[in-house]
Every structure is written in structure tokens, then in C-alpha cells.
Structure 1
Amino acid sequence: MTGKVLIYLHPQGMFLAKALYDNIAETPDELAFRRGDVLTVVEQDASGLEGWWLCSLRGKHGIAPGNRLKILSGMGDNAKVSSNPDVCT
């Protein structure tokens, strides 16, 4: 599968991403997280905000800077094939 990346998807079509850095929320809409946290990504470029992803963590929802997250890839029944070059492996 040249040029393809397998991404683990939740049954609802969401996927997981690991925090590469701490993020301190600077607005009420932003999600705070710590390096190593695993977030559920609901939507990339949420509401037209390029580079910001709508995520959830420990029951809280908010936007997070996509450049501080790494999409977790894996194989399994819920894997999706993507040719998106922005997807990290």
C-alpha cells in the first residue's frame, strides 16, 4: 500500500491522537492537555479553523492545535486507509 496510512478509527468515525507537547488553553473553546495524553479527534480543521482540531479528552471537548498532536495509526477491524500526506505515522 504505497502512499497509504492506516488510521485507527472509533466506531463513530473518530480517531485517536497522542499529544506531543503540553497545551495550555488560552480561550474557553480550547482544550488543555499534557504531553502523552491520548485525545479523541472528532474533526480536523474544525468549523473552518485551519490547523485546529475538535477533540475530546476525559469528557471535555474543545479545539486543539493539530501541530501538537500525532495521529495514532494501527491495524484492526476499524482501520481506515488514508492518502492524506498530513497524517503522521
Structure 2
Amino acid sequence: MDVYTPVFPGSGTVMEEAWRKVHADGEARGEAKGEAKAVLRVLRARGVEVSESVRERVMACLDLEVLEAWLDRSLTVTRAEELFVQE
């Protein structure tokens, strides 16, 4: 029995690969944004004041490893600027 495998326009083309890259980049940016929001949310929940410059720096970061380190630090810092001390 033959199995039907649909071939969609653009399948396997440079256009499809470009779409996949854009989609993956968007996913990574979304994940980073979520991590950044979590850092700020933990600080807010703990009553730690966050300046606009700290908020902007956290939200602009796209490096998930850095954001994860900041999230870990957000659990113990007493000032928001302490997130960045080990950099």
C-alpha cells in the first residue's frame, strides 16, 4: 500500500529554512522574555525596589544562561543591582 506524503509549496526550500530560522529565533526571544519577567516578578514579590535601568537591562537580555543566573540571584539579593555583581 502506498503512503501519501503531502508536499507543500516551499517545502525543503531556502524559503522554508528561512521561516524555520525566524520561528526558532522568535521562540528563543519569547523564552528569554519570560525568564526576564520572572526575574522582575521575584524581585517585586520580595519587595526589592527595581530601578528603570535595571528593568531595562533585564528585559533587554536575550542570553538564557545569564537570565537563569539572575533568576537564581533574585531569590537572595537585597538590592536589584546585586543581580549583576558577578559579571
Name the TM-score class by shorter chain: under 0.3
Choose 1 or 2 for highest CA Rg. Answer: 2
Higher RCO structure, 1 or 2 (CA under 8 Å, sep 6+) = 1
**TM-score scaled to structure 1, two decimals?**
0.21
Higher helix proportion: 2
**TM-score scaled to structure 2, two decimals?**
0.21
